[in-house]
A and B are shown apart, each in its own frame.
Chain A
Amino acid sequence: MIFALKTQRFRKIAVFLILLAGVAGIIIVNQVSSADQDILGADRSGFKIAMPSVAGSTATSSWFCPGVPGQDENVKSEIIVANPTQTPITGTITWLSSDNPALSTTLIVDPLSRRVFDATSGRKSKFFSATVELDSGQASVEQRIIHPAGNSLALCANEASDRWFFADGFTGAESLFDVLLTNPFQDPTVVDLSFVTVDGKREPASLKGIVLPAQSVTGISMGEQGARNEAVLAVSIRATSGRFIAGKLQHFLGRGRLGFTSALGSPATSRQWWFASGEKAAGVDEQLVVFNPTDTDQSVSIAFLTGSAELLLREPLVLTIPAGRVTTLSTTNLPAITNGRYGILVSSITSDFVTKNDDVSGEFVVVEQVVSRTSEKKTGTSVVLGAPAGSASRVWTLPTGVATGEVGSIVVANATSLDTKLRISTIGPAGAVPIDGLEQVSLGSAAVISIAIPQSAAELQILVESEIEVVVQREVSRGNKLFGLSGVLALPYRSSMFTENKSGTKSGDK
């Protein structure tokens, strides 16, 4: 009897303890895992770099080129498709134009080779733009314009965006500045265009509600839209419906700038912008054009990568760019910078204590670098959009090489505080082969290095591999025996990011 009572009491105590533990468990699980969930949620929020890149291991890739002029017989435009793999790559190339219907054809690129297509498909139209779809994630595509005023290489975008920005648009001395808006989709896209001059932001009614017909290219000459003879001209284009690709054609005709350049716009602002090829030298006029398209003032710090990390951090230059305005910084006049090569890092410090990835947090600035080299009354101007945050990579590719008739070079900036080794390879019939003497190139922390590519390798696809994240920029000759260099970023690989994105899925379950 006593035993039964004890057992009963024990049972009661046990059951109440179990129930209490259950209640405690509910509360604790709810509390503890909430934090975990936030972390997971942060990881899930997604991140895209605001520049083209090579996907790497994906099955397919798509490229949207910024556009070329199509009526000037003196101008030749090319689409270069590079296949660094051991297998043939097939795909389609679709030409969009401002006057003709879209035209598609199938393409095949042999292994370890490159193929060049006429960017105008042999037709006449004011502007052309090409879309290339490939059944490989390792292929890369670039656009090249062979222009009497200077050849220009431009990156092609991987995807469309609902907004594009151009920090530098120069119409001084009647320079030409055409914005090319490509709509590769089946639906019309409607965009609003605004621009900023030294007088402030302007939003002409004629530039509101611009309809980009489906599968077409629309060119807008900024000079004809009321932005004539502007030394400062930043452009912002936002879609009210749909997406598009924006590129620019710039023909500099004076006021310190000469030459031709084409480039893809920036599909987003970024908290950081990297420039590998800064230079202070006689006859070199370098400007950083910082465009703040947001509604709030932005402060940016500008640091120069001169090989000393301490120096980099010690005395950064701070600029404040008012909302919707452009600020131009001429580095040539900065006494703190000694002659020579350096890299440049422009960072927004408006919300300095943001721990999450910056581009997700909001909008910041767009920065372009304008370099005009002058010698014996010859001037060559190059405009380079910086590498945005997150674009630093261990692998970069140069599908078109560095040669447009003359020898070019690559400039590599170390974006970290660690020393690294670089390996420069070419991709030819034998696969990826390191260039003699460039198998192990040392690069110090926060430093830049300019590497001349031998003539024999300049025509081939070039691969730059590093032990740590770097930023790679090309400097190629402008062709036609013109003075100066044309700068353009190389293409980073994003395969590591691709892996991270896939980790959140359950594809393996299938």
Chain B
Amino acid sequence: MSNAKLDGLVLEVTSAPPVVTAMVVHEPGPWFDDVLASLASQDYPTLRHVFFLTTPVVDSQPDTSAAQLLSNKIQAVLPDAIMRIVEGNPGFGPLINEMQRIVEGDSGLFCVMHDDVALQPSTVRLLVEELFVSNASIVGPKLVQWDNPTLLKSVGFGIDRCGEIDPLIEPNERDQEQHDSVRDIFFVSSACMLVRADLFRELNGFCREIPFFGEDLEFCWRAHLSGARVVVAPSAVARHRELFSSRSANIVSSSLIARHRARTVTTLTSRFRFPLVWLQMLVTSVIETVVGVFSGTFRESLAGLRATVAIIIDTTYIWRRRQEVRPFRRVLASDIGKLQVKGSARLTRFIRHRRAIESSAIASSTEVKKFWRQTSTRSSGIAMTVIFALILIGSREIITNGSRIVGEFLPFDSGSITSGLLFELFRSGWWSSGFGQATANPTGIGLLALGGYLVFGNLALLQTLMIVGSIFFGFFGMWRLCGAFANSRARLVGASIYVALPLGYDAIARGRFSALLTIAALPWVFDILRRAGGLHAEGRIDPTTNLLISNSEKSIGVGISRRTQLIAGLVLILGLVSAFAPAILVVTLIGLLLWFVASVFGGTPMRSIGAMSFVGLAGVVGSLLINLPWSMNFISRQWWQLLTSDQSVSERGIGLSALASLDFGNLRGGFFVLGAYFCVVCSLLVANSWRLVWALRSAFLVIGALLLAVLDDRGLLPFQMPEPSILLALVAVGLGLACATCVSIFSETALSKSSDWRRSIGLLVPVAILLTFLPTFLNVADGRWQQPDSTVSQLLAQLPDNPEDGNYRTLFVGDNGLLPVSTNALTSFVSYGVSDDGPVNIVSHWAPQYTAMNLLADQALMALISNDTVRVGRLMSPLAIRYIVVPLSSAPSASALDLVDALSNQLDLRRLYFARDLVIFENVAWIPIIGVLDEQSAVASQKVGGSALIVQELQSVNPLFVDDHNVASKSSRSSFNGGTVHVSALFNEHWQLTIDGAQIAPRVAFGATTAFDAPVAGSAELHYRTSVLRYLLLLIQAFVWLALLIIAANVSRFRVRFRDVSSQSIKLLSENADQVLKSDRQDK
């Protein structure tokens, strides 16, 4: 590089003020010769030039070779030019600000320029003249198009109160001197801007936090605030190429532009107007976002909305920036307002644009590419809107009236349950569902409590959101996963197919909450795996042509911080879902294995596969860890059963057709889904290059998971798999990916390939996809996805709540799929679960481990099934089981009928309700959950074994603590006349009964439950003493969740927003980087 010798430089003595052009040169093209030539041809006498040459940074080292060549080139044209080679490209504004350091003196002028602006020979002179004539501080030229100077580019800009820019001219407006009068405008483009040096110094140059896009608006706005005048001098003309995006695609960002605009408005608007202006921005951006769905400007509109909302995060920055600007506020806000466009600049621009479109000459110049992009986005937006509308219409009854209580869809707000109560349960060291156990409560209860607080205690709303929201969540997850195809249509089809499959709706119909959550979460899991493997669409796009590269799959490296963020995200997703449905962990591991095998065969780099595997495994392990201490529950001899919610069902007998159609008979037209399998075959046959890898992934997921489901269905596996609805979520993901692959193939290869046999197959793909959509359409009309009209829980309303004769439990027994509570398997065909009196609620979703009380129940039920007893009621009396409920399906199984048969033979059961779908028996030998035993029963309670109960019928003298709360939360006191208090809860030393303050030691009763031999009368109080360690563990758990949330949300990106740009030191690589240019005017 050759630098001008600047020491002692004195500019030519003339009356003309010295002008120093400042230009940032970034990877220029051939047109830069014209730019240099135009500068060299200027007729202004005291003109000097300063160039900032950016450099690419490779491996943290600047590559100055191109900059050196460029420097030589400039010097050849402009020998006196000053050049500064800069490390990287810290931004236009910050570099131009360097002029304050490079040029000394305040009497000169700075002409800020882009490197793609070619001036006419008189441009600088005319600008200076106009500056003085108009007594302006900032003057801009008329910008015309580079290739066709007869078309206008800019004659200055106006803005409205929201900072929306009004270009004042129509797009591609022909220059017929209609704008050739000098006029005040709000700002001129930094493409060519003449500004007084003193003003530039006073305002401290461009905003440091705006490296690109918007620095001119912000600077001019501040200039207005300080009382300076900004005018456009149309007599001065410059050609502007303005194709920066093609040179630096990664810098151009709609979100960056929107953020700078929002920041400018919020920092420079007066504080009195600010709230109203922000509200206006918010409303406008919301409307624009909605309109953008249809107008093809969704992405830009969404960026505007995000920027407006993000003002909240930027509070610190805005406050500091306003403090900095305050000294320059010399003009009244109302005067500034007069300079702004009345109404909406966007609306004005739109109207002007429509008017321009009417001109065929202008319309013909509209870029075809943009048109197609907009058309694609618009059709996607419309399709998405239709799909969302269908989902909402199909779920309308659930949205308006809530879900029916079917299967695992237990009401969140049933009985006296509140967010506070849920949180209290969560804190307790007593897990109250089932027969109860002294162990940590499920994390899910805590999450529900938290969710309840977030929806202001409306737990029913939370449930509806979780049910209906799961469908949308799954859609967006699949949308993100299909982002690998970098094709809006492929993404849309993939996501739409995923939500159109009957699996999710069948889960709603049958109340499979675990399955629904898994279906919602699984695409996100795979998306995170994809990102962890660096399988981004961007990695396959040629930066020069902006087209996809057709070669085998490549992955881009993922940094440690990004990987950490992805792991945190995966841990959170899996942790959240596994808190309700632990089976997702098993499904994830299976999916990971299939994904791994497919990627290996597809030729994905091992580095990428390794990263995906690591992240996947870390996610699974991490999700278990963040569910501690509850997940300690899985450390058990029955860990697999607990993890898979295994009910030891040996053969489900669902059948291949039902499994393959992802429909278990609850929805209409499920068999149409088989059409989607055509896409799996088609994608395998037609795909090549990187798409083949995706076809393989989809095929492995579909075939692998379906094979496992069939094996499990036929009872041929040595272990139980998660229920088919959960396992088949893998198939659903695979089908969605297969359809997206097909669309990607046929939509992207259509323009470049001639017709061949693959194209013929492609004709069938839309048919297959449409067939897959059919079941959803057929079931929309129902309004609640075919949920049954009457449910078991509704019929249970006839059971008494808090009866005077004591709290009790209800035993649900029969086919696992029909039981409304979490269950324990008894045989291959019979499961059972229990709930306390009152309506069942979501707390019964989780069952504790197998305890000694379960052993009692098992023995009683086995005796029942084997027809070994006619006194099952007595056998169950220590368990406080008053009602035995057997739900029956429309086609009851033989085991269910046998069960009813056996129950009908019991001498101590009373038939309470006998219908085709439900049978309820009342146990006449029951005793309350907490009650005082008579003398004989107290003696019997010291025995172990059911045979003793055959002979001895237990009798409770009177119940104690009859209320809504579970056994561990008895806050009330009861008067007590002495005797043996029996608590039908698993024995634990933490149980405390106090009689008038005197503590009674508990003992084991019936080999499992708890009893207190209390000979004294008085006021009794019972509670379970939770360990302090439990609270400590909860605190740690909360901290870990919060930390993961922060990592996953990448809060550091907000830190970047706060960071002062000036702290990013601009590193000049010139040899004489610290030399200065004196620009003080010397009068003759």
Contacts and interface: CB of A to CB of B under 8 A. Distances in A.
Interface stretch (B359-367, B391-399, B705-713, B1023-1031): B705-713
Contact of A30 (B655, B699, B863, B950): B655
Contact of B710 (A26, A187, A498): A26
Interface stretch (B192-200, B836-844, B907-915): B907-915
Chain A binding surface SS class: mixed
A363 to B, nearest CB: 16
Given A37-B714, A135-B947, A502 B703 contact: no
Nearest to A32: B714
B1018 to A, nearest CB: 34
A44 B895 contact: yes
B469 interface: no
B243 to A, nearest CB: 40
A184 B924 CA distance: 13
A59 B711 contact: no
A150 B863 CA distance: 39
Interface string B684-710: 100000000000100110011011001
B950 A36 contact: no
Contacts of A135: 947-948, 950-951
A426 interface: no
Interface string A117-160: 00000000000000101110100000000000000000000111
A206 interface: no
Contacts of B906: 185
A501 interface: yes
Contacts of B650: 40
A309 B863 CA distance: 41
Given A46-B894, A137-B868, A241-B914, A15 B947 contact: no
B1007 to A, nearest CB: 14
B707 A25 contact: yes
A505 B703 contact: no
Contacts of B706: 26
A59 B710 contact: no
A40 B895 CA distance: 13
Interface in A1-39: 8, 11, 14-16, 18-19, 22-23, 25-27, 29-30, 33-34, 36-37
Interface string A280-317: 00000000000000000000000000000000000000
Contact of A160 (B905, B910, B946): B905
Nearest to A25: B707
Contacts of B603: 8, 11
A11 B910 CA distance: 67
Contact of A506 (B825, B850, B870, B947): B825
Nearest to B692: A12
B867 interface: yes
Contact of B910 (A40, A187, A505, A509): A187
B601 A15 contact: yes
Nearest to B655: A30
B684 A186 contact: no
Contacts of B894: 41, 44-46
Nearest to A33: B714
A26 B707 contact: yes
A26 B904 contact: no
A507 interface: yes
B829 interface: yes
Contact of B704 (A15, A22, A30, A60): A22
B75 interface: no
A504 B862 CA distance: 11
Contact of B684 (A16, A55, A92, A162): A16
Tier of interface size on chain B: 35 or more
Contacts of A40: 650-651, 715
A158 B602 CA distance: 66
B539 to A, nearest CB: 21
A37 B651 contact: yes
B648 interface: yes
Contacts of B653: 37
Nearest to A44: B894
A356 B293 CA distance: 66
A403 B796 CA distance: 55
Contact of A159 (B867, B871, B924): B867
Given A8-B603, A19-B699, A91-B951, A59 B946 contact: yes
A90 interface: yes
A97 interface: no
A242 interface: yes
A86 to B, nearest CB: 16
A243 interface: yes
Nearest to A136: B947
Interface in B647-702: 648, 650-651, 653, 655-656, 684, 696, 699-700
Given A19-B684, A133-B870, A510-B850, A92 B951 contact: yes
Contacts of A19: 684, 699-700, 703
A92 B895 CA distance: 30
A243 B907 CA distance: 10
A113 interface: no
Interface in B955-996: none
Contacts of B651: 33, 37, 40
Contacts of B703: 19, 22-23, 26
Given A58-B868, A186-B908, A506-B825, A26 B715 contact: no
Contacts of B648: 506, 509
A133 B950 contact: yes
B865 interface: yes
Contacts of A45: 894
A90 B951 contact: yes
Contacts of B12: none
A37 B870 contact: no
Nearest to B867: A159
B941 interface: no
A61 interface: yes
A106 interface: yes
B907 A185 contact: yes
Interface centre among B651, B924, B948 (most CB of A within 10 A): B651
Contacts of A505: 826-828, 862, 865
B89 interface: no
A78 B906 CA distance: 24
B866 interface: yes
Residue among B696, B898, B907 with most chain A CB within 10 A: B907
A58 B898 contact: no
A187 B905 CA distance: 11
A186 B707 contact: no
Contacts of B598: 15
Nearest to A34: B714
Contacts of A507: 827, 858, 862
A509 B869 CA distance: 22
B738 to A, nearest CB: 12
B825 to A, nearest CB: 7
A466 interface: no
A23 B702 CA distance: 10
A58 B865 CA distance: 12
B866 A501 contact: yes
Contacts of B870: 62, 133, 159
18 contacts: A22-B703, A25-B707, A29-B707, A36-B714, A44-B894, A44-B895, A58-B863, A58-B866, A60-B871, A62-B907, A133-B907, A133-B950, A137-B868, A160-B905, A162-B904, A185-B906, A241-B911, A509-B648
Given A33-B715, A498-B866, A504-B828, 7 more contacts: A8-B603, A19-B700, A135-B950, A159-B905, A185-B906, A505-B865, A510-B850
10 closest residue pairs by CB, A with B: A33-B714, A22-B703, A135-B947, A30-B656, A15-B601, A58-B868, A186-B910, A62-B870, A505-B827, A159-B905
Interface of A: 8, 11, 14-16, 18-19, 22-23, 25-27, 29-30, 33-34, 36-37, 40-41, 44-46, 48, 55, 58-62, 90-92, 106, 131, 133-135, 137, 158-160, 162, 184-187, 241-243, 498, 501-502, 504-507, 509-510
